[in-house]
Amino acid sequence: MAFWGELKRRRVGKVAIAYGAIAWAVTESSSVVLPALRLPDWTITFVVVFLMVGFPVAMILAWIFDVGPAGIERTEPLGSAPPAMRRRVRVAYGLVVLVLMGGLGYLLYERGLGKAFASETRDSIAVLPFANLSGDSAQDYFSDGMSEELLNLLARVPGLQVAARTSSFAYKGKTADVREVGRELGVATVLEGSVRQSGVRVRITAQLIDTETGFHLWSETYDRELKDIFSVQDEISGAIVEQLKLELKPEQQAAVRRDKAPTSNVEAYELYLQGRAAWKKRGKDNLLRAVELFQQAVARDPAFARAHAALASAYVVLPGYTPEDDFERFTTLAERAARQALTLDANIGEAHAVLAQLASNRGQLLDAESGFFFAISLEPLEATPHHWYSMLLARVGRLDAALEQARRAQELDPSGPVLALNLANMHLMRGENEQALRYSRLAGDLGMDASHKGIDATVAMRERRFDEIEEALQKQDLPAEVRPFIPDFVAALRDPARRPAAVARMRALPPATIKQQQLIQPYLQLGQVDLVYAILQEALAQDPEAWRDWDIVVAWGPEGAGFRRDPRFAGLAERIGLVQYWKQYGYPDGCKAGTERSIECA
C-alpha cells in the first residue's frame, strides 16, 4: 500500500496518462502528415523512438519534481519510511515505468509505424505463369496468354515496376515459395493464379501475395464465358492497382484501361494465342503453321490489329528459313500486314518493329534506328524489337549497345533459342569466347538447329583446335557442294602455305551454289583482306544494292580487324550508307571520325 500511496502522493499517474495521450496524438498525426509531405520513412521511426525514450525521462522527472502553487518544486521523500522500503519503492516504480514504456511503444508502433507501413505503396510485381487446370497440356497457350496479357496491362501502369516476362516465366511448372521469388526477382508482390477452360466457360483464379510476409493481399475467382475474357483481365489489373495503393491521375487511370478489347471474337483470340506459341518455336514448319493460324484469326476478325501485327512478324522472319527466292514475296506480305495493323491501331509496337526490320533489310539504316526506338518505347517488355534492334546495332558496329539489347531480349524471353543464339553471336563478335559458347549451347539445349555450331567452329579457330573445327563445320547446315571444301579450308587455317590453293577452290565455286560475298567470313579467317575488297567492289559494280545481302557484321569481330583498319574501308562505308548513320547516331566502338578519312578504327 505504501507503494501506491507514494505514486499518488507524487502524482506520477497523471503525468503518465497525459504523456501517453500526447504521444498518441503526435504519432497519429505524424503517420498521416509526414508521408503526405513526402518525407523519408525514417522520420516516423524517429518520432516513435523519440517519444518512447522521452517517457522514462518524464516519469523520472515526475517522481523527483512536482508542480504546485509555488511552481516546480522538488518532492520531499517520505520521511517516516525506512531506507530499505524507500529502495523497494524506487525499484518497483522503475519496473512499472518499464512495463508502461513497453505498452506505450506497442501503441505508438501500431498507430504510427504500423499504420504508415499498412498504407505503404507496393510498387513492384511479378506475374507468374497461370497454371493450366484444364487437364490438357495443349491448352497451355491459353493460360500463358492470360499471364502475358495481364503482364502487358500492368506494364502500362505508371510507377509500377513489372518483372520481365521471362524472369517470371522461369517459374513455370515449378513450386516456389513466393518469398524466395520476391528475393530473386526483387519485387514486393507476386500475382499468380490458374485457368480452367471448359467449352465456352472459363474459371480464372487470381491472387496477389506479399513477398515479404507470404500473406495474401487479395484473391478473387471469376466464372465467365470466354467472350468476357478481356473484361476479366481489366478487372484483375484494376483490382491490383487498387490493392497496391498506387496513386494515379485520371489520365493515367485511363491509360491503364483498354478502350476496347483487342477482338470481340473468341475463336480469333484463341487462334492468335496458338499462333504465338508456334511462332516462338521458330523453324520453317512452325512459322508456316503460325502464318496459317494468324490468317485464320484475321479472317474471323479483320479488325483484330494484334493478329495482323503477329502475321507481319511471322512473314518478316520466314525468309531466314526458306529459299532465297521467297524473300521479296514474304517482305511484301510482311509490310502489308504491318501497315494493316497500324491502320487499325497506331500504337502496336510490334508492327512498328516489323517496319523497322524491313527498313534495316533494305539498308535504310536511319529509318530502322528511329523505328526500333519507337517500337521499344511503345512495348518495352516485348523481346522481339530488342532482338531485331541488336542486329541493326551489330551491323553498324555498335557492339556494346548491341550486346545490351541482345541481353535484354534474352532476359525477356529466356526460353527462346533464337534469342540465346543472337546473344551468343554478340559475345562472339566482341571476342568473348567463353560467353559465346555458353549461350550457343543454351540455344542448342532450347531446340536450335545446327546453325549454332558455327560459333563452336569460330571459337575453335581462334583457339587453334583444328580437329574440332572440321567437326563443327560438318554439323552446320551448308550446301552439299560446299562440304568437300571443308578439309581444305581447315588445312589452310593450319598451314598458311596451303591457303592459295584453298582460296582458288573457293573462288571457283559457282554462284548458283554460293555467292562469293557469302564467303566474306571464311576469306577473312584466312587473312584474305585484299580479296574481300575485290569481291565487294565487283559486287557493287554489278548491283549498287548488293551490299544489303552482305554479312557485314564480320567486319567488327576479331577476324575483321585488318579489314576495318584498311584505308579502303572508309570509302566502302560511305558508299553503303554507314557513315551517314554514324554521323547521326555515333561511330562504332573502337572507331572515330578521321581527319583524312571518314572513319578510322583502332
The per-residue pLDDT for range 117-160, each reduced to its tens digit, is 444 445 788 888 888 887 767 677 777 777 777 777 777 677 77
Q: Which residues contact 170 (CB under 8 A, 6 or more apart)?
A: 414
Record the cell numbers describing residue 423, joined without a space: 546473344
Count of helices and strands (H, E) across the chain = 29, 10
Q: What is d(CA 82, CA 560) in angstroms, rounded to the nearest whole number?
A: 100
Is the separation of the CB atoms in 385 and 376 below 8 Å?
yes
Output the pLDDT for position 31.
64
* Spatial contact of 499 and 529, defined as CB atoms under 8 Å apart: no
Yes or no: say if 491 and 509 are a contact pair by the CB < 8 Å rule.
no
Per DSSP, helices labelled H in 543-597 are: 561-565, 568-575, 578-585
Identify the pLDDT of residue 380.
85
| Whether residue 442 has pLDDT greater than 90 | no
Q: Is the pLDDT of residue 355 over 70?
A: yes
In this prediction, residue 568 carries a pLDDT of: 92
pLDDT at 115: 45
pLDDT at 14: 72
Secondary structure of 164-231 in HEC code, one letter for each residue: CHHHHHCCCCCCCCHHHHHHHHCCCEEEEEEEEEECCEEEEEEEEEECCCCCEEEEEEEEEEHHHHHH
Cell of 456: 563452336
Fold of domain 124-261: Rossmann fold (3.40.50)
Q: Which residue from 262, 272, 190, 191 is spatially nearest to 229, judged by alpha carbons?
A: 262
CATH 3.40.50.10070 residue spans of the chain: 124-261
Mean pLDDT of all residues in 485-510: 90
Neighbour-count burial of 496, counting CB atoms closer than 10 A to its CB (0-12 exposed, 13-18 middle, 19+ buried): exposed
pLDDT (0 to 100) of residue 561: 92
> Which of helix, strand or coil describes residue 71?
strand
Q: CB-hemisphere CA count at 13 Å for 75?
A: 17
Cβ atoms 397, 552 nearer than 8 A:
no
Cell of 28: 497519429
Cβ proximity of 111 and 44 under 8 Å: no
